[in-house]
Amino acid sequence: MSRLLVNSTVGALVTFEGWVRNHNEGKSVLGLEYEVYEILARKEGEKILQEAQTKFNLSGAVACHRYGYLDIGEIAVWVGTTGVHRGSAFAGTRYIINGIKSRLPIWKKEFYIGEKPQWILCPQNHIEILNKNKTR
Amino acid sequence: MHASATKTITIQYVAMFKDQADRSMEKIETEIKTCSELYEYLQEKYKFAIPLSQIRVAINHEFCPMTQLLKEQDLVIFIPPVCGG
């Protein structure tokens, strides 16, 4: 995907890959199933990319989140940004992955050995957004 | 049309709500006025465990406040705490 960002005017590319790991909160994890509310996720994702480009003066920004069942070690999310210098690209990539995790309507169900699969709750994400909305 | 009039709305369920309600979508006729009142109704009906304070809502594929009034033919999706990445 970094080929999408090739540009002879930039001096830095910073990428982030989120991988499916084999444990979470003391439990052995077999895999993850992601569900995406795609229409809204795409709209909100575009907003995050545009915000990052403006805020950090990026030359380019691309992100992708997979859905469905993923095995351990598979890439779940990929983010790449480019800038004239490395500082903006590091900051831009961090801003985008944080936005993906806290704002996109995506949910994950963990699968374990000998236990029922379980949806993972990250209520902190919503509480932050709801509090921000209250202060606007 | 008066806001309290009976209207037909569609509710789409995602993630844990889909599992708990055992359906991905349903159409209801209701006099419920707001999104928050609708969530409380569904919470009671399907025993959703997540409190209203942690839920967001989208109507017709746009985020909106829980106080939003429901209209005829709205598509409502309650969004439990997100967990991407």
A-chain residues within 8 Å CB-CB of B82?
101-107, 122, 125-126
Q: Cβ separation of B54 and A97 shorter than 8 Å? A: no
Q: Which residues in chain B touch residue A130, judged by CB atoms under 8 angstroms apart? A: 53-54, 56
B19 lies within 8 A of chain A by CB: yes
Check CB contact under 8 Å for B85 and A18.
yes
**Residue B19 within a domain:** yes
CA–CA gap between residue A37 and residue A121 (Å, rounded): 16
B12 min Cα distance to partner chain A (Å): 10
With respect to residue B61, please indicate whether it lies within any of the assigned structural domains: yes
B18-72, pLDDT tens digit by residue? 999 999 999 999 999 999 999 999 999 999 999 999 999 999 999 999 999 999 9
Number of folded domains that form chain B: 1
- Report ipTM (2 d.p.): 0.89
Domain membership of residue B84 (yes or no) is: no
**Residue B2 within any structural domain of the chain:** no
| Residue A46 vs residues A50, A75, A112, B17, B85: alpha-carbon distances, Å | 6, 21, 34, 26, 16
Interface A:B, Cβ pairs < 8 A: 84
Distance from CA of A117 to the nearest CA of B (A): 11
Which H/E stretch holds residue A111?
A: strand A106-112
Contact A63, A4 (CB under 8 A): no
Q: Is the pLDDT of residue B76 over 90?
A: yes
Average pLDDT, chain A: 92
Q: Is position B57 within any domain?
A: yes
Interval A13-25 mean pLDDT: 95
d(CA A31, CA A21): 8
Q: Which residues pair with B62 in a beta bridge?
A: B59
The DSSP annotation for B12-76 comes to E--HHHHHHHT-SEEEEEE---BHHHHHHHHHHHHT--S-GGG-EEEETTEEE-TTPBP-TT-EE
Q: Find the CATH number of the domain harbouring B26.
A: 3.10.20.30
Round to whole Å and give the CA distance between A70 and A127: 28
* Residue A92 predicted with pLDDT over 50: yes
Within an 8 Å CB–CB cutoff, is residue A123 touching chain B? yes
Is residue B1 situated within a structural domain?
A: no
Residue A106 has pLDDT above 70, yes or no: yes
Are the C-beta atoms of B66 and B41 separated by less than 8 Å?
Answer: no
DSSP notation for A56-75: HT-SEEEEEE--EEEETT-E
| Domain encompassing residue B47 | 7-79
What's the gap between Cα B61 and its chain centre? 12
pLDDT tens, position by position, A63-80: 999 999 999 999 999 999
Beta bridge partners of A32: A70, A110
Contact flag B83-A120 (C-beta cutoff 8 Å): yes
Closest to B63 (Cα-Cα) out of A126, A93, A13: A126
Q: Is the dihedral of CA A45, A46, A49, A51 positive or negative?
A: negative
Whether B85 maps to a domain, the answer reads no
pLDDT at position A128, please?
Answer: 59
* Cβ–Cβ gap A105/B61 under 8 Å: no
With CA atoms as reference, report the closest residue to A18 among A28, A35, A6, A32: A32
Q: Is the pLDDT of residue A87 over 90?
A: yes
- Whether B54 is covered by a domain: the verdict is yes
A102 contacts chain B (CB < 8 A): yes
In chain A, the domains with their CATH numbers are 2-135 (3.90.1170.40)
Amino acid A112 reads Y
